[in-house]
Amino acid sequence: MSVGRSANKVWNNPIGRLLTLLVGGGLVAGALTIYPQILPVVRWAIPVSFVLWGASRLYFYGVGDPLSLATGCLLILGGFTYASYLLISMDEFTGTIAQLTPAVGIFTELFAAHYRNQD
């Protein structure tokens, strides 16, 4: 059995997926414990990944589908708002909006993926 087929077999199983995510989270937590100077890299990787994820949605699915367009734009905006939250001191309301924008982008991506898979 090839490595790719084994990985697909584990990832398609819900318990295997949960264990994979737990092991990955444990590795990240262990790396942060051993090397605390990595923390700024991990902290800034989150907004960068939101921007790249949003750009990939726009690149792969184009601007013809309104839901994919909204998803891409919300993820990119969420990446920038979360980065500004990390960079600038904000009050409670502005900080909440800056942190909720990526969450709204993620939920619209879930809806867009659901409707893409139905076609």
64, 81: one domain: yes
Residue 1 has pLDDT above 90, yes or no: no
Q: What is the pLDDT of residue 7?
A: 81
77, 46: one domain: yes
63, 14: one domain: no
70, 96: one domain: yes
64, 108: one domain: yes
- For the residues 91-117, what does the mean pLDDT come to? 92
Rounded to two decimals, the pTM is 0.73
62, 103: one domain: yes
53, 80: one domain: yes
80, 100: one domain: yes
Residue 14 has pLDDT above 80, yes or no: yes
Which tens digit of pLDDT belongs to each residue from 16-49?
Answer: 889 989 999 999 888 888 888 888 888 899 999 9
79, 56: one domain: yes
Q: What is the mean pLDDT of the chain?
A: 90
30, 43: one domain: no
Phi, psi dihedral angles at 44 (to 5 degrees): -85, -10
Domain hosting 18: range is 1-34
Show Cβ contacts of residue 75 under 8 Å, excluding neighbours closer than 6 positions.
50, 51, 53, 54, 57, 102, 105, 106, 109
Q: What is the pLDDT of residue 108?
A: 94
